[in-house]
Amino acid sequence: METVHALQNRYNETKILSDTKQKFLLDSSVQARQKVCQWFEKKIADLNDAQYKILNDIESERDQIQVHLYDLNEKVEAIGDQIETLIETGTIINDLTAKLDDLNKKLDNIDFPAEHSLLARYKVSLTNDVHNNVSTEVICKDSQTDLTMKDMTQNGIQTENSLLTNSEEDENGSMDANPSSFRINDTVPMYQNVGRIASNGEGLLYCSPILNLLCYRQLNQTFETHCDWTHSPIEDMIWWSNLNSYLCATLNGVYTVKYDDGDFRVRLIIPGKWKYVRVACNHEFIWTWIYSKLNAFYGLCQYSKELELVRTIDFKRPSIGNFIDGSLSFCVQDNVFASVCHYRVNKRNVFRVTLCNTSLTKEIFTAVLGQCGNTLEIRSDINGYFFIATGTKKLWIIKQNGEKWFLELANNLHALTVLDDRDILIATDTNNLQRITRETNG
């Protein structure tokens, strides 16, 4: 017969075992709940990123088609005016029929998506892969934009330590040997989804279009602050040292933004009512590329340091050619104007880059660089390099002499900013920024 002491020991052991099981049950349930919450938080973040990408693609495609339609509509109206002249004077203008035939052909070539809906090209699904890793997929049905975000095993993770390659040939021939080395340096995690970005080399300003936020951080810090952006969406963003300010272009005007000790100071400097706008600068001038609602002006406006309009370039003049058709972005150096233009070939988005003088009268060179997404952005540094975000997994780099290379990335690239004479920051669809560094030979 067990003694009371032995019975007490057995009770204690049983109680400890019971408590251990109870604790294990509670800990397991908490961990399970945490894993479920973390999984859904990640998927929700992925879906938010996918939502931003799709909305951005839809807006971009709409703007591209709209600008082209505006231009064609003006030409149609011009022919209408000439027909009115015919009726009044009885004069015969032989080329009107040919002009109308040409415009009809161009209008027929504008390829709208199936079911007359940009949204019809996308589907969203949650699926399991063969390794039971759940993935979120957002797929463009015509394969022009493929947004796939997957949970991958460690062996399946694609690294971003990509090297610059010159093995691919574009439509103008093979690329030249690479005199410099561009490599991905480090990753900068961001708190918000990144739309447009700009930097003065020390700080970074970016917009978060889904939440309508303007965000700022120092490049050497992880802390950032933000404010509500209460104006129309930001279409373009750059830094201009002459005003010691960031320039944010919207369809209702260009604003300067200064960040000072926790405060965002926003001021409208160039008012406007535009259907399309992009902004660039060199040492002397601000340049805006606009399509005006008020007077149907389509072209460039050049402003001095005192914000006075000093010159306009009307794109309707006959001498303007490849510099403008389908353009989505441009930048300007002291003597060089660069634009990237988007168009469709065999139902694929392709693009070309054109460099010319700042009067847009003399072409330096044009290169067709292949396939792109629905976003394009070009920026340049003081060394004469031009960097192009293509909406795909390629960063293109070109020089004024026609040399060109591309850097292969792990994720689609939609925006970039130049930091200094060696570094740029690129924004991909991962919500992180990547620093690209040029290492000169010798």
Over residues 351-393, the pLDDT tens digits come to 999 999 988 888 888 888 988 988 899 999 999 999 999 999 9
Enumerate helices (H) and strands (E) in the chain, giving the number of each: 2, 30
Tens-of-pLDDT digits for all 442 residues of the chain?
557 777 777 777 787 878 787 778 777 777 787 788 778 877 877 776 677 667 666 766 666 676 667 677 777 777 776 776 666 565 555 567 777 777 777 776 665 544 444 444 445 554 444 333 433 344 433 333 333 333 322 332 232 333 344 333 444 434 543 445 788 888 888 888 899 999 999 999 999 888 889 999 998 888 889 999 999 999 999 999 999 999 999 999 999 999 988 899 999 999 999 999 999 999 999 999 999 888 889 999 999 999 999 999 988 876 666 667 778 999 999 899 999 988 888 878 889 999 999 888 888 888 889 889 888 999 999 999 999 999 999 999 999 888 899 999 888 999 999 999 899 999 988 778 999 998 876 5
The Cα–Cα gap between 71 and 99 comes to: 14
DSSP 3-state assignment of 428?
strand
CA dist list (Å): 363 to 84, 214, 351, 360, 384: 37, 37, 17, 7, 16
Q: What is the pLDDT of residue 30?
A: 76
Q: What is the pLDDT of residue 28?
A: 79
Over residues 272-324, the pLDDT tens digits come to 999 999 999 999 999 999 998 888 899 999 999 999 999 999 888 766 666 67
The Cα–Cα gap between 400 and 343 comes to: 23
Contacts of 77 (CB under 8 A, 6+ apart): none
Name beta bridge partners: 366: 354
Count of residues making up the chain: 442
The Cα–Cα gap between 104 and 428 comes to: 39
Q: What is the pLDDT of residue 110?
A: 64
Q: CB 294: neighbour CB atoms within 10 A?
A: 8
| Cβ atoms 217, 223 nearer than 8 A | yes
What pTM was estimated for this model as a whole?
0.63
CATH superfamily of 158-440: YVTN repeat-like/Quinoprotein amine dehydrogenase (2.130.10.10)
**Token digits for 334?**
């002291």
| Cβ atoms 303, 313 nearer than 8 A | no
The Cα–Cα gap between 255 and 246 comes to: 8
| Cβ atoms 331, 379 nearer than 8 A | yes
Q: E strands, 229-336, where? A: 236-240, 245-250, 253-260, 263-271, 274-281, 286-292, 298-303, 309-314, 327-332
The Cα–Cα gap between 138 and 50 comes to: 7
Helix (H) or strand (E) holding 396: strand 394-399
Residue given tokens 């293509």 in the structure block: 390
Query: Domain extents for the chain?
Result: 1-157, 158-440
Over residues 317-329, the pLDDT tens digits come to 766 666 677 789 9
The Cα–Cα gap between 321 and 313 comes to: 13
